[in-house]
Amino acid sequence: MAIACIEDYRGAARRRLPRFLFDYIDGGSYAETTMRANVADLERLSLRQRVMRDVSGAQLETRMLGRSVSMPVALAPIGLAGLYARRGEVQAARVAEAAGVPFILSASACCGLEEVAPAVQAPLLFQLYMIKDRAFMAALLDRARAAGVETLVMTVDLIIHSPRYRDMRSTLTGRQTVLDRLRRMIEIARHPGWAWDVGVRGRPHILGNFAPAMPGGAGLAQFTDWVSRNFDPSITWDDLAWVRERWKGPLVLKGILDPDDARLACEAGASAIVVSNHGGRQLDGAPSTISALRPVVEAVEGKLEVLMDGGIRSGVDVLRALASGASGVLLGRAWAFALAAGGGASVSHMLELLRHELAVAMALTGYSRIADIGPEALLRTERAAS
């Protein structure tokens, strides 16, 4: 079947991946209410169709995260991407560079900084959590600096893991019985394409950035145990001073939903914030990101850049986010689905689809430049609601 949209890549990923990995990408926390709202609330925003406005010279280029980009889109940090396609983070970083969009390497990537950085010419962006082992964290910041990372993206909404029922049912998390391991082997055998490309040729299956902290092994089981002991629920805004002492480059805070937190991010010296609910994978019942976006934008009063992630499934969604006040969006599941479906080539195709959809949506709403898109792109009722 020909791939026409991001949702088609979701179906292709479901067919190619063992179920426990597909559910890890596709699922959210608890009842997945917030995860669904991310998509549904975007779809509810109606755009103003405008005509006769000369959009013949449309330009999607803009600035985002301190650099020129070909369109206001970045690839968000996605954990375990090296389990979706062979050396997946390296493939995705190369595609993003060729497409002219930023790539943010996840701290919990399979391919570590020292493997991904030499694969591209553009400086990496690197995502990190606040963890208890500050000596290791300081060493990781040193590694990021040595690898040429210019921008640090701190994810601040994962101080504790929220239960994800799909992962529990698939035994990706929690204890495994002998029967569970047998079922997983059978599931892998049912997906021979993935088993050969990733299971055999994609080794080593470790978390490359965290490997020095786990000398006894850096596989998924060891990582899950290490995270449970080292993610730090005691952090406060004061702890950002510790980061700032060791990181002089741009600092982005990802996981802001509340206007008061957005103001505190300004005071803490953040370069940008990402309005994010972790793709609906943390606090189920939290607002969708598109509904939280406008109040956050108004709260910061232009003092820093505001990006958004969560629920972006088309170029039309990108336009909706821009009209609601974001300077750009991060793609998470969209590129994970594409990578799982067909590696870097599919990620490249997904970005081409998104670019075309955004260009068409801009033309039909009367815009030829990203900088001109504002709340007037939405119908009045949607402007009031957002």
Q: Where are the alpha helices (DSSP H) in the chain?
A: 6-16, 19-26, 33-43, 88-99, 113-116, 134-146, 165-169, 178-189, 192-194, 220-230, 240-246, 259-267, 289-300, 315-323, 333-364, 380-385
| pLDDT for res 268 | 94
* Sign, CA torsion 205/210/215/220: negative
The whole-number pLDDT of residue 217 equals 66
Contact in structure between 80 and 108 (CB atoms under 8 Å) = yes
**Cα 148 from chain centroid?**
21
Q: What is the pTM (predicted TM-score) of this model?
A: 0.95
Encode pLDDT of 188-200 as tens digits: 999 999 999 999 9
Using the predicted structure, report yes or no on whether residue 275 has a pLDDT greater than 80: yes
Span 38-94, pLDDT tens digits: 999 999 999 999 999 999 988 999 999 999 999 999 999 999 999 999 999 999 999
Under the phi-then-psi rule, with left for phi > 0, alpha for psi from -120 to 50, and beta for the rest, what region is 54? Answer: left
Q: Residue 57: its pLDDT value, please?
A: 87
Residue 140 near residue 128, CB atoms below 8 Å: yes
Separation CA 201–CA 179 (nearest Å): 26
Rounded CA separation 42/1 (Å): 27
Pairing label, strands 328-331, 305-309: parallel
Q: For 217, which DSSP code?
A: -
Determine the pLDDT at residue 228. 72
| 32 Rama class: left (phi>0) / alpha (psi -120 to 50) / beta | left
**Domains of the chain: residue spans and CATH:** 6-385 (3.20.20.70)
Contact at 8 Å (CB) between 5 and 338? no
Q: What is the CA radius of gyration of the chain?
A: 20
Return the pLDDT at 229. 77
Residue pLDDT, tens place only, 328-382: 999 999 999 999 999 999 999 999 999 999 999 999 999 999 999 999 999 976 6
Considering Cα of 309, then 315, then 316, then 320, what sign does the dihedral take? positive
User: In 130-258, where does DSSP find H-type helix?
Assistant: 134-146, 165-169, 178-189, 192-194, 220-230, 240-246
Q: What is d(CA 47, CA 364) in angstroms, rounded to the nearest whole number?
A: 9
For 253, residues 6+ apart whose C-beta sits below 8 A from its C-beta are 154, 156, 265, 268, 270, 272, 273, 274
Q: Tell me which residues are annotated as active site.
A: 278
Q: Assess whether pLDDT exceeds 90 at residue 100.
A: yes
Q: What confidence tens digit (pLDDT) does each residue in 175-225 have?
A: 778 888 888 899 999 999 999 999 999 998 888 998 888 776 656 666 667
Q: Is the peptide bond before 18 cis (omega within 30 degrees of 0)?
A: no
**Residues 6 or more apart from 121 whose CB is under 8 A from it?**
97
